[in-house]
């Protein structure tokens, strides 16, 4: 299991030390919110660039925005491994092409009420599929176990079609729910408030992994 800490709940006044405290993670997950697609605003390219400058880890950028196409160049940093957009956003096909032109892995995400079939038209283009296990927009929500049925469905689709995309979950992951994720076939778990509330985060990452 790969662990991708979400820095949404980090102390941005002490960014460098916060990033050091999770330096044994596999990826850094950046939740970008525009206040329109979700009812919250997080941070933009300038803060994301500071995060990139202060970590050796690859970035896993999750665009919870209505119009992701305009943002692709602004989040295409040297350490950006994935840019994930939502099937519910605008200009999905064009945005996928824009991500590919940057030689960055395409990620696709669906909200809890969106079925897996919404991903199928793009399934051959993606390197990562992110299943939201909470309603996107706010941290600290409870894990929706029924979303793991989507994970199991994707594991089956991946195997049947000889595909190799990674399956990621985001929302409410802790030391208990991560066991359920592993059983369902999740490859990457995004962990937010559960991890950042720990005193020893490196130990916490090892334990979760």
Q: In this structure, what token pair is assigned to residue 166?
A: 């990674």
Residue 58 has pLDDT above 90, yes or no: yes
In whole angstroms, give the CA distance from residue 171 to residue 44. Answer: 21
**pLDDT value for 139:** 62
If pLDDT is split at 50, 70 and 90, which confidence band does 142 have? confident
Residue 137 has pLDDT above 90, yes or no: no
Active site includes 149?
Answer: no
**pLDDT value for 173:** 95
Residue 155 has pLDDT above 70, yes or no: yes
The secondary structure of the chain, three-state, reads CEEEEEHHHCCHHHHHHHHHCCCCCCCEEEEEEECCCCCCECCCHHHHHHHHHCCCCCEEEEEECCCHHHHCHHHCCCCEEEEEEECCCCCHHHHHHHHHHCCCEEEEEECCCCCHHHHHHHCCCCCEEEEECCCCCCCCCCCCHHHHHHHHHHHHHHHHCCCCCEEEEECCCCCCHHHHHHHHCCCEEEECHHHHCCCCHHHHHHHHC
**pLDDT value for 205:** 97
Q: What is the chain's mean pLDDT, rounded?
A: 95
Q: Which of 31, 34, 60, 187 is catalytic?
A: 31
**pLDDT value for 39:** 87
Q: Which of 26, 34, 60, 170 is catalytic?
A: 170
* Long-range contacts (CB closer than 8 Å, 24 or more residues apart) made by 145-154: 145/177, 145/180, 147/112, 148/180, 148/181, 148/184, 148/186, 150/110, 150/115, 150/116, 151/181, 151/184, 151/185, 151/186, 152/184, 152/185, 153/116, 154/116, 154/119, 154/129, 154/185
**pLDDT value for 9:** 85
Domains and CATH numbers, the chain: 2-208 (3.20.20.70)
As a whole number, mean pLDDT of residues 55-59 equals 98
Residue 177 has pLDDT above 70, yes or no: yes
Active site includes 60?
Answer: no
């Amino acid at each position: 299991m790969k662990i991708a800490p979400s820095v949404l709940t980090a102390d941005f006044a002490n960014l460098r030390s916060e990033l050091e405290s999770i330096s044994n993670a596999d990826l850094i997950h950046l939740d970008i919110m525009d206040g329109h697609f979700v009812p919250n605003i997080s941070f933009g390219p300038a803060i994301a660039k500071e995060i990139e400058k202060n970590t050796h880890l690859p970035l896993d950028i999750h665009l919870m925005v209505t119009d992701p196409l305009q943002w692709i160049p602004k989040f295409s940093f040297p350490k950006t491994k994935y840019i994930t957009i939502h099937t519910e956003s605008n200009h999905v096909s064009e945005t996928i092409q824009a991500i590919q032109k940057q030689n960055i892995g395409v990620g696709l995400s669906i909200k809890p009420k969106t079925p897996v079939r919404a991903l199928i038209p793009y399934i051959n283009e993606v390197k990562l599929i992110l299943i939201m296990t909470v309603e996107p927009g706010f941290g600290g929500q409870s894990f929706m176990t029924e979303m793991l049925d989507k994970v199991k469905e994707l594991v089956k689709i991946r195997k049947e079609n000889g595909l190799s995309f990674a399956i990621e979950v985001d929302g409410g992951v802790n030391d208990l729910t991560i066991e359920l994720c592993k059983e369902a076939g999740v490859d990457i778990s995004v962990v937010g408030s559960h991890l950042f509330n720990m005193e020893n985060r490196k130990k916490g990452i090892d334990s979760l992994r």
